[in-house]
């Protein structure tokens, strides 16, 4: 198997694909992503980051509550 892309090209394409996959995992339709401007992509990424942050906070609260129950503080 012969490679035709340089390491730089591979990394650049992987970055673009990773971003698209990240946005799709957060519920944005692939067609919307494909036709979005750079500013629209930036807004979608911000929304996805906020979702990640809220999910992390919920997980931390659940863990803290579980630890409290396990050690008898509730």
Q: What is the pLDDT of residue 74?
A: 52
Q: Is residue 71 part of a domain?
A: yes
Q: Is residue 48 part of a domain?
A: yes
Q: Is residue 49 part of a domain?
A: yes
Q: Is residue 34 part of a domain?
A: yes
Q: In the chain, how many domains are there?
A: 1
Q: Is residue 9 part of a domain?
A: no
Residue 73's pLDDT band (cuts 50, 70, 90): low
Task: State how far the alpha carbon of 33 is from the alpha carbons of 12, 24, 26, 58, 71, in Å.
Answer: 17, 8, 12, 28, 47
pLDDT at 67 over 70: no
- Domain residue limits at 36: 25-74
**Would the pTM count as exceeding 0.85?**
no
Q: What average pLDDT does the segment 37-55 reach?
A: 95
Count Cβ atoms within 10 A of the Cβ of residue 23 and give its class: 0-12 exposed, 13-18 middle, 19 or more buried: buried
Q: Is residue 15 part of a domain?
A: no
């Amino acid at each position: 198997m012969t490679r035709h892309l340089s390491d730089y090209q591979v990394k650049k394409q992987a970055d673009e694909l990773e971003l698209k996959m990240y946005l799709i995992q957060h519920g944005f339709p692939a067609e919307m992503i494909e036709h979005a401007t750079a500013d629209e992509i930036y807004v979608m990424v911000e929304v996805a980051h906020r979702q990640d942050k809220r999910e992390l906070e919920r997980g931390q609260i659940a863990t803290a509550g579980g630890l409290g129950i396990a050690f008898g503080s509730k």
